[in-house]
C-alpha cells in the first residue's frame, strides 16, 4: 500500500488535482490517499470540492481577512508538518505554484518524505512576475522526487536547471483531462461576449487600474459587445473593479463562477482578456483567442502557436490590440484555433502510472 498525501488550497489546484485524485481512487488496494485542504481560498474552494465530490480528510481553514503570504506559509508549514508526522506518507503531492504548495512541500522535505510535483517546470525566468509563484515553482521543483511536467518546454526548463532526467515525466496538463469531458452540446454565438479575468497579485494597484480603464474605453467603443467579468473575492481586485466599471451598461460584474459555468462562458466568448495561466490553457483547448494581461507568461506554447498575445497592463496597448482583433476578421481567425500543446486529456492516467510502477 502506497500512502499519498495530497495538499491544496486554491480553486486552480482543486481543478487540476481532481482528475488525479479520481484516478488514484480507482486503486483502493494500491493507494491510501489523505487529502489535506489548507483553505487558502476557502470561500471559493467549497463549491468545487462539492462539484468534484472530494471529501478532504482535513481542512486547515487558515483563511483570514487580508491574509499575508507569510501567514499562509507559516500556518500551512506548521500544520501540514504535524499531519505528515501522523500520517507518514510515502509521497506528498502538490500542484503548481501556490504558497500552500510551497509550504507543504517544504514541510515534507524536512520530514524526509518524497515529493511529487504536478505541473512542474513552468517558468517566466523572473521572480518578480509572477510573485511569489515563480519562486515557489523553482523551490518545489528543486526538492521534488517526481516532477510531472505538462509540456516539452517545461521539461527543457527543468533539464536546463540541472534536474536529473530520471525524475522528470511528461504527462500533459490535468486541466485538459477535465476539458476533454466538457463538450458544448450546441454551437454558441461567439460574436458578442468578451470575457475578462483578473486576479494576480502583481496586477494590484495602478497596473490593475490601467487594465480597468482600458475596459472602460473598449466598452464605450464597442457598445454591441458585452464584457463579462467574474470578480475575484480579493478586495484588491473587487473594490477598484466596482468603482471603475460598476456603472457601465455593457460590463457585467458577476460573482466567481463554478468551473463548468466558466468554461461555458469561455466557450461562448469572442475574445478573452486574462492574467490567468489556467484560462490561457483552457482557451487554447477550446480555440478562443486570448490577450494576456501580463508582462511575461509561463504558458509560452500559446504565444508561440499564435493563439495568445502578451499585451501587459498598458492601457493603450490593451485597447489597440483588442480593437484590432474585434475589427480585423482575418487576424482574429488566425488566433481562433485549437492547440493541444497542453495535452490530450490523459495526464491523470500518466501520473497514476508512475505510482503504479513503483516497487
Residues 13, 23, 75, 133: which is the catalytic one? Answer: 133
Q: Is 133 a catalytic residue?
A: yes
Phi, psi of 72 (to 5 degrees): -60, -50
Mark whether 97 is an active-site residue. yes
Q: Judge whether 13 counts as a catalytic residue.
A: no
258 classed as catalytic: no
Q: Which of 32, 90, 159, 201 is catalytic?
A: 201
Name the active-site residue from 13, 23, 75, 119: 119
Whether 178 is a known active-site residue: answer no
Q: Give SS3 for 147.
A: strand
Beta bridge partners of 4: 33, 91
The 3-state DSSP class for residue 83 equals helix
Tally Cβ neighbours within 10 Å of residue 2: 15
Among candidate residues 97, 134, 275, 301, the one labeled active-site is 97
Question: 199, 200, 288, 294: which is the annotated catalytic residue?
Answer: 199
Residue 130 has a CB neighbour count (10 Å cut-off) of 25
Catalytic residue among 232, 259, 294, 313: 232
CA 180 to chain centre: 17
CA distance 87 to 108: 12
Q: Is 199 a catalytic residue?
A: yes
Q: Which long-range contacts (CB under 8 A, 24 or more apart) does 103-106 make?
A: 103/72, 103/73, 103/74, 103/75, 103/76, 103/77, 104/7, 104/36, 104/38, 104/76, 104/77, 104/80, 105/139, 105/140, 105/143, 105/144, 106/77, 106/139, 106/143
Rounded Cα gap, residues 115 and 94, in angstroms:
8
Residues with a catalytic annotation lie at 97, 119, 133, 199, 201, 232
Amino acid at each position: 500500500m502506497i500512502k499519498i498525501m495530497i495538499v491544496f488550497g486554491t480553486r486552480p489546484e482543486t481543478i487540476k488535482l481532481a482528475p488525479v485524485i479520481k484516478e488514484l481512487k480507482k486503486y483502493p488496494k494500491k493507494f491510501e490517499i489523505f487529502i489535506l485542504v489548507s483553505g487558502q481560498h476557502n470561500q471559493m474552494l467549497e463549491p468545487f470540492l462539492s462539484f468534484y465530490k472530494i471529501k478532504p480528510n482535513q481542512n486547515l481553514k487558515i483563511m483570514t481577512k487580508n491574509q499575508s503570504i507569510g501567514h499562509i506559509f507559516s500556518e500551512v508549514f506548521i500544520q501540514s508538518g504535524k499531519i505528515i508526522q501522523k500520517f507518514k506518507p510515502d509521497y506528498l503531492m502538490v500542484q503548481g505554484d501556490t504558497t500552500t504548495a510551497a509550504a507543504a512541500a517544504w514541510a515534507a522535505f524536512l520530514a524526509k518524505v518524497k515529493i511529487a510535483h504536478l505541473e512542474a517546470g513552468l517558468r517566466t525566468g523572473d521572480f518578480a512576475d509572477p510573485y511569489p509563484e515563480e519562486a515557489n515553482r523553482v523551490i518545489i521543483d528543486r526538492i521534488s522526487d517526481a516532477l510531472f511536467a505538462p509540456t516539452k518546454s517545461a521539461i527543457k526548463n527543468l533539464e536546463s536547471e540541472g534536474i536529473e532526467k530520471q525524475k522528470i515525466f511528461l504527462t500533459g496538463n490535468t486541466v485538459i483531462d477535465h476539458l476533454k469531458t466538457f463538450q458544448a452540446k450546441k454551437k454558441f454565438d461567439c460574436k458578442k461576449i468578451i470575457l475578462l479575468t483578473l486576479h494576480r497579485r502583481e496586477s494590484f494597484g495602478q497596473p490593475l487600474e490601467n487594465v480597468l480603464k482600458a475596459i472602460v474605453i473598449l466598452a464605450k467603443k464597442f457598445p454591441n459587445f458585452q464584457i463579462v467579468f467574474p470578480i475575484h473575492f480579493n478586495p484588491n481586485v473587487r473594490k477598484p473593479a466596482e468603482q471603475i466599471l460598476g456603472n457601465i451598461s455593457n460590463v457585467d460584474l458577476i460573482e466567481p463562477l463554478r468551473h463548468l459555468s466558466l468554461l461555458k462562458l469561455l466557450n461562448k466568448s469572442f475574445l478573452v482578456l486574462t492574467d490567468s495561466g489556467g484560462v490561457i490553457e483552457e482557451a487554447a483547448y477550446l480555440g478562443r483567442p486570448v490577450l494576456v494581461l501580463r508582462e511575461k507568461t509561463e504558458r509560452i506554447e500559446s504565444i508561440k502557436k499564435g493563439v495568445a498575445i502578451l499585451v501587459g497592463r498598458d492601457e493603450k496597448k490593451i485597447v489597440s490590440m483588442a480593437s484590432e482583433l474585434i475589427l480585423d476578421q482575418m487576424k482574429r481567425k488566425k488566433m481562433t484555433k485549437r492547440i493541444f500543446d497542453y495535452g490530450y486529456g490523459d495526464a491523470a492516467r500518466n501520473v497514476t502510472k508512475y505510482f503504479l510502477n513503483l516497487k
